[in-house]
Amino acid sequence: MQISSWQDLPHGEIWVVDFEFYPGPGKANGGREGDPATPLCLVALEMRTGRVIRQWQDEFGPFPPYRLDAGALFVSFMSSAEYGCHIALGWGQPACSLDPYVEFRHYTNDGRIKSGDREKGFYGLDGALRYFGEDGIDTAHKIEMRNRIIEGPPFSTDEREAILTYCEDDVRALARLVQYIVPTIRSLPHAMARCNFMWAVAQQERRGVPLDQPLLIRVNAQWSAIQNDLVAKLDRPFGVYEIEDGKPHWRKQRFADYVRRHRMYWPTYEDGSLDETDQTFREMAGLYPQIEPLRELRYSISKLRLNDLSVGNDGRNRALLGPYGSKTSRNQPSTSKYVFGPAKWIRFFITPPPGRVLIHRDYA
């Protein structure tokens, strides 16, 4: 049954929650992207009463300052982040949750619209508010505050107050969004089930994927020489690359000649030049499987930066998994930061720790 107003939600309390966090001990203290998140503070607003709770990390206890039972609704935007903080603090999963980020994607999903046609930030909190005709949030200030937070402690008294105020501003903005999102939900149980998946995402984002970090460091150090070796071996059937000044270079004319010699159909632009985007290469590899090695090689040479992988100090690859990021609701993690995103051969870095076994299961 569709609910026309947030006030009609069947929960005695509705808690809108936002956390701030930084990687590991903070970047200023040796932490880096890929380290598990360390919760810094939280702000929670109960919508029915207007009650606000603000807590700094030294005030966190063994239990959250809000209810997690079925009589309360937990609301957060991109809830895998807040769930990740719950997991870090040992607070457990709320019984009933709603994620306006997920529901906004669900409501505006349109297979006729290409993702590139959406304006940047469309699916963020600011974009969602603007979609419904509300004033957005100060994204420049948000970037400034987020950059300070990820540096980690120590924080001055003034910084502590500024961060809590910034966090509260986001919570109040999210509470404004809730009043527009709730009427778009056709089935509340389904919406809560969609949010339930975010708990599984949060667990995996915190767990990460174990990598052979010493090997990754060695390969990074030899990456230029490895690129040349890859070209010498894999480009031999194609003859597209040219080594110049010790570096491989893709030659468009050579590739056009290859396509013509093999009488391949290939999409072109209005000026007659070949469409060489990676997406087109992926599609054409389905039609001409023999070019898949060239596609992998091209990606590895032109786009792959091994040091872009988000690897923590413990050797685990942690990155945002981008839940519900595609039109079919699949995850869409970063293709550069997540080990399953770049060329497939990168996956050989995945290695279980000593005494453990790693199973990668896929379903059809």
pLDDT in tens, the chain (364 residues): 678 899 999 999 999 999 999 999 999 999 999 999 999 999 999 999 999 999 999 999 999 999 999 999 999 999 999 999 999 999 999 999 999 999 999 999 987 777 677 888 899 999 999 999 999 888 888 899 999 999 999 999 999 999 999 999 999 999 999 999 999 999 999 999 999 999 999 999 999 999 999 999 999 899 889 889 999 999 999 999 999 988 899 999 999 999 999 999 999 999 999 999 988 999 999 999 999 999 989 988 887 788 889 999 999 999 999 999 988 889 999 988 999 988 888 899 999 988 999 888 887 7
Rounded Cα distance, 184 and 292, in Å: 43
Is residue 171, in this structure, part of any structural domain at all? yes
Show the domain range for 246: 214-306
Is residue 241, in this structure, part of any structural domain at all? yes
Is residue 259, in this structure, part of any structural domain at all? yes
Q: What is the CA radius of gyration of the chain?
A: 24
Is residue 182, in this structure, part of any structural domain at all? yes
Domain boundary among 190, 208, 226: 208
Beta-bridge partner residues of 16:
45, 75
Task: Say whether both 138 and 219 belong to one domain.
Answer: no
Cβ count near 314 (within 10 Å):
15
Is residue 268, in this structure, part of any structural domain at all? yes
Task: Say whether both 186 and 228 belong to one domain.
Answer: no
Do β-strands 52-56 and 209-210 pair in parallel, antiparallel, or remain unpaired? unpaired
Closest CA to 178 of 271, 101, 291, 91: 101
Do β-strands 97-98 and 209-210 pair in parallel, antiparallel, or remain unpaired? unpaired
Closest CA to 154 of 5, 44, 28: 28
Domain boundary among 262, 277, 306: 306
Task: Say whether both 43 and 91 belong to one domain.
Answer: yes
Is residue 326, in this structure, part of any structural domain at all? no
Task: Say whether both 67 and 189 belong to one domain.
Answer: yes
Task: Say whether both 131 and 103 belong to one domain.
Answer: yes
Is residue 114, in this structure, part of any structural domain at all? yes
Non-local (6+) Cβ contacts of 289 within 8 A are none
Task: Say whether both 295 and 188 belong to one domain.
Answer: no
Rounded Cα distance, 102 and 93, in Å: 17
Backbone angles phi, psi at 243, to 5 degrees: -85, 120
Tokens of 246: 């010790």
3-class DSSP state of 277: coil
Rounded Cα distance, 1 and 247, in Å: 62
Cis check: omega of the bond before 354, within 30 degrees of 0: no
Task: Say whether both 15 and 146 belong to one domain.
Answer: yes
Task: Say whether both 43 and 80 belong to one domain.
Answer: yes
pLDDT in tens, 87-103: 999 999 999 999 999 99
Closest CA to 169 of 195, 150, 148, 141: 141
Non-local (6+) Cβ contacts of 328 within 8 A are none
pLDDT in tens, 27-50: 999 999 999 999 999 999 999 999
Rounded Cα distance, 81 and 69, in Å: 20
Domain boundary among 208, 238, 257: 208
Rounded Cα distance, 307 and 337, in Å: 9
Task: Say whether both 260 and 221 belong to one domain.
Answer: yes
Give the DSSP H/E element, type plus range, for residue 189.
Answer: helix 188-207
Is residue 346, in this structure, part of any structural domain at all? no
Non-local (6+) Cβ contacts of 290 within 8 A are 237
CATH code assigned at 172: 3.30.420.10
Task: Say whether both 22 and 113 belong to one domain.
Answer: yes
Task: Say whether both 197 and 299 belong to one domain.
Answer: no
Non-local (6+) Cβ contacts of 214 within 8 A are none
Rounded Cα distance, 189 and 96, in Å: 9
Considering its fold, how many domains does the chain have in total? 2
Task: Say whether both 181 and 46 belong to one domain.
Answer: yes
Model pTM?
A: 0.87
